[in-house]
């Protein structure tokens, strides 16, 4: 998959090999017009219908192993599956911590969740959006990679609708369900009940 260098929303900065525990990828560094830097990892091989995972940055889950969410396990399972899928793409979308509210606000929301609110109620209590993420830059990255028709690895119907709204054809959806644990069972139930996640 050869990336195009220029896009109205994102610019390709450079490409380098990124060997991982799951297999080799080509890492495409993008800088968005907003100033946020994103990464696209592309598995070897070619596909007319690549498997794609849009993964929102989650420092607590991805790097620190938090059990309050399923983000870390989803990231690792995505990399495992994409590494064996020709031309598979992981979009690692930065600036989307806590469904777009930021790291410090996520900690504020966690404190309210510790007092009994769910994730949506906590964000509302803080005057923050339930989900403030935007996927225009993700769609632009896929366009730069030449991936206009994809299979999406997600449980979130909003991601499907968002990509299609930005001109990416989602020809198939594959689930990415992780087992619950005692710390994230309520979080997962809220995603299913209030966001329509297919869990």
Q: Which residues contact 129 (CB under 8 A, 6 or more apart)?
A: 99, 100, 101, 123
3-state helix, strand, coil in the chain (%, to 5): 35, 25, 40
**Are 87 and 46 in contact, with CB atoms under 8 Å apart?**
yes
Instruction: Report how far apart, in Å, the C-alpha atoms of 21 and of each of 38, 76, 79, 106, 163 are.
Output: 21, 10, 9, 29, 29
Active-site residue list: 131, 133
Give the residue among 62, 57, 66 at the shortest CA–CA distance from 181.
66
Q: Look up residue 130 and give its two tokens.
A: 């339930």
- Taking a C-beta distance cutoff of 8 angstroms, is the pair 140, 148 a contact? no
């Amino acid at each position: 998959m050869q990336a195009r260098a220029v896009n109205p929303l994102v610019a390709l900065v450079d490409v380098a090999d990124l060997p991982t525990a799951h297999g080799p990828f080509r890492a495409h560094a993008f800088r968005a017009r907003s100033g946020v830097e994103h990464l696209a990892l592309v598995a070897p091989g070619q596909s007319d219908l690549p498997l794609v995972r849009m993964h929102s940055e989650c420092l607590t889950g991805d790097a620190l192993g938090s059990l309050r969410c399923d983000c870390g396990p989803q990231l690792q399972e995505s990399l495992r599956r994409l590494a064996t899928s020709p031309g598979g793409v992981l979009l690692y979308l930065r600036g989307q911590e806590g469904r777009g509210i930021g790291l410090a606000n996520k900690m504020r929301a966690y404190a309210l969740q510790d007092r009994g609110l769910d994730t949506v109620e906590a964000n509302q209590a803080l005057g923050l959006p339930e989900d403030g993420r935007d996927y225009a830059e993700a769609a632009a990255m896929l366009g730069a990679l030449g991936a206009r028709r994809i299979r999406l690895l997600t449980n979130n119907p909003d991601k499907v609708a968002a990509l299609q709204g930005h001109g990416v054809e989602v020809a198939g959806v594959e689930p990415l369900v992780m087992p619950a644990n005692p710390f994230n069972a309520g979080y997962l139930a809220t995603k299913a009940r209030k966001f329509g996640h297919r869990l």
